[in-house]
């Protein structure tokens, strides 16, 4: 599945997107964050405080308890600051 | 109408197009956001707006539909720029047209509050040669929260 | 800034001038009023705005000062046209600039409410070949009344 | 003193302005309205319902009890409908 990173999450991870294959027991956004945080020191830094990380599944906001599917586009980013 | 673009816009042209041929539109409320030199005169050299292509359009279309459902509006316009901007540059334009000025005003404030907290844009400021991401503001969250009890007249 | 004029205006030019060189102005709220075809498509052929030269400028200057005193604004603009106008024509533009969008929005709504009840303008509508003076509306009085207890945040 | 009329008050009076010399016991806006209403049938029609007539003395709003001076510019008009 495809994971996207924006703003300082991208800076810390060092990637704007990557293809990952989490194990089957990683099913929710919260579990995906915990699993991604282990991939590299940069990932660990990006996800150090999950409360300030926002997530979208297929371009709609998703909370920590929500589940994703294998083919989904999952994005992580900081609270938005447009307008 | 939703426009996510790198280019500048002309508010006169945009608002004229919005009310063109709509003779029952007496009220055009709009809000324009400009790049502000937050750190004092000359300190901010530029601001870069990053966004999430695809999700941005999707969120703004939902926002437009929500405004049209909540108030007796004729049309809604949201233009949001991305890319590198300089102090004083136009960032965003929200507009609502209606036969009632209260509806136009309220919808326009609603569009901005929602946009500040939901549209996937992030600001990178260059101040005194250093780049840093702008932090989200709690009072923007508070401003958006007032619309969540589905109360049209606040 | 106050302008009472027969000529049309360009909101893009006017708002650009209002924020030109003011780098701490992030928020530009504006309201534009257009001639509305109140009686249904094609029924209104024209609207003539009469005013009281001298008193109009005096009242609008007081209104500008009041808005600047009530909210943390950078500048205020009020343009009001007079003379004979056609459906869809621009009548009025109110704008307020600030570093705070809430202040800009509220001040702009205040300007319109006050203007509707205090500025000495009268509308003569031509509908189906007959001319008649538009009657003042109680809900405009009500809208203006909400600002009278000197409460900035309603 | 100069008296101005606007909108339908002008239409009914038939004049946009006139110079009048009210007697000395006519001192307030209300008294001036009552006095002007006697000048012609048009004046009478214009001031038939004083509650819907607005007044300005020297271009500031004035209520019925307010006093004017000989050199003042006094204007009468309907409730405003601009914006």
Residues in C 43-82 with any Cβ partner in B closer than 8 A: 44
Residues in C 84-123 with any Cβ partner in D closer than 8 A: 91-92, 112, 115-123
Please give the pLDDT value at position A44.
98
List of E strands, B1-154: 2-5, 27-34, 44-51, 73-81, 83-85, 90-98, 121-127, 130-133
Please give the pLDDT value at position C106.
97
Tell whether C58 is within 8 A of chain D (Cβ): yes
Please give the pLDDT value at position D68.
97
Length of chain C: 154
Tokens standing for residue B3: 């426009």
Contacts of C80 in chain D (CB under 8 A): 82-83
Please give the pLDDT value at position B150.
54
Q: Is C92 helix (H, G, I), strand (E, B) or coil?
A: strand
Q: Do C136 and D61 touch (CB under 8 A)?
A: no
Q: How many Å apart are CA C21 and CA D62, to the nearest integer?
A: 41
Range of the domain at D63: 2-77
The 10 Å Cβ neighbour count of residue D49 is 8
Nearest to B37 among C11, C24, C101 (CB): C24
User: What is the CATH number that goes with domain C2-145?
Assistant: 3.90.1170.40
pTM of the model: 0.93
**Residues of chain D scoring pLDDT < 70:** none
Per-residue tens of pLDDT for chain B, all 154 residues:
999 999 999 999 999 999 998 878 999 999 999 998 877 777 888 999 999 999 999 999 999 999 999 999 999 999 999 999 999 999 999 999 999 999 999 999 999 999 999 999 999 999 988 999 999 888 888 888 888 865 444 3
Judge whether A82 lies within some domain.
no
Tokens standing for residue B63: 């926002």
> What is the rounded average pLDDT for all residues in chain C?
92
Nearest to C31 among B24, B88, B101 (CB): B101
Q: How many Å apart are CA B95 and CA B61, to the nearest integer?
A: 14
Judge whether D58 lies within some domain.
yes
- CB-based contact D58:D71 (threshold 8 Å): no
Q: Give B123→chain A minimum CA distance, Å.
A: 6
Rg (CA), chain D: 12
Per domain, the residue ranges of chain C are 2-145
Answer yes or no: is pLDDT of C151 > 60. Answer: no
Q: Do B119 and A81 touch (CB under 8 A)?
A: no
For chain B, the helix, strand and coil percentages under 3-state DSSP, each to the nearest 5: 35, 35, 35
Tell whether C143 is within 8 A of chain B (Cβ): yes
Nearest to A83 among B50, B112, B133 (CB): B112
Q: Pick the closest to residue C118 from C78, C73, C75, C72 (CA basis).
A: C78
In chain A, the number of structural domains is: 1
pLDDT confidence bin for C1, thresholds 50/70/90? very high
Q: Has the ipTM of the complex gone over 0.90?
A: yes
Q: Pick the closest to residue B32 from B12, B47, B51 (CA basis).
A: B12
Tell whether C36 is within 8 A of chain B (Cβ): yes
Local structure of residue A28 (DSSP, 8 states): B
Q: Do C116 and D83 touch (CB under 8 A)?
A: yes
Q: What are phi and psi of C46, to 5 degrees?
A: -165, 165
Other chains touching C, judged by 3 or more CB pairs under 8 Å: B, D
Q: Pick the closest to residue C122 from B40, B140, B30, D75 (CA basis).
A: D75
Tokens standing for residue C125: 């509508």
Tens-digit pLDDT profile for residues C89-147:
999 999 999 999 999 999 999 999 999 999 999 999 999 889 999 998 888 888 888 88
Q: How many Å apart are CA C62 and CA B112, to the nearest integer?
A: 29
Please give the pLDDT value at position C150.
54
Please give the pLDDT value at position B154.
39
Tokens standing for residue C22: 């003011």
Mean pLDDT over C7-33 rounds to 94
pLDDT confidence bin for C41, thresholds 50/70/90? confident
Q: What is the CATH number of the domain that holds D42?
A: 3.10.20.30
């Amino acid at each position: 599945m495809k994971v996207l990173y924006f703003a300082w999450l991208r800076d810390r991870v060092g990637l704007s997107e990557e293809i990952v294959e989490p194990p089957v027991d990683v099913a929710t956004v919260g579990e995906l964050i915990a699993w991604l945080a282990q991939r590299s020191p940069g990932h660990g830094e990006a996800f150090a405080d999950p409360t300030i990380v926002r997530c979208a599944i297929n371009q709609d906001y998703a909370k920590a308890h929500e589940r994703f599917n294998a083919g989904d586009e999952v994005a992580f980013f900081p609270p938005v600051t447009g307008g | 109408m939703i426009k996510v673009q790198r280019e500048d816009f002309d508010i006169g042209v945009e608002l004229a197009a919005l009310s063109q041929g709509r003779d029952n539109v007496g009220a055009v409320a709009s809000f324009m956001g400009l790049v502000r030199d937050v750190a004092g005169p000359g300190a901010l050299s530029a601001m870069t707006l990053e966004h999430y292509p695809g999700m941005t359009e999707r969120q703004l279309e939902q926002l437009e539909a929500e405004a049209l459902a909540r108030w007796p509006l004729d049309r809604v316009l949201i233009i949001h720029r991305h890319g590198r901007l300089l102090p004083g540059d136009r960032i965003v334009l929200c507009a609502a047209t209606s036969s009632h000025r209260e509806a136009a005003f309220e919808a326009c404030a609603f569009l901005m509050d929602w946009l500040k907290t939901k549209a996937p844009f992030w600001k990178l400021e260059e101040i005194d040669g250093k780049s840093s991401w702008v932090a989200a503001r709690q009072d923007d969250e508070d401003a958006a929260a007032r619309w969540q009890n589905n109360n049209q007249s606040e």
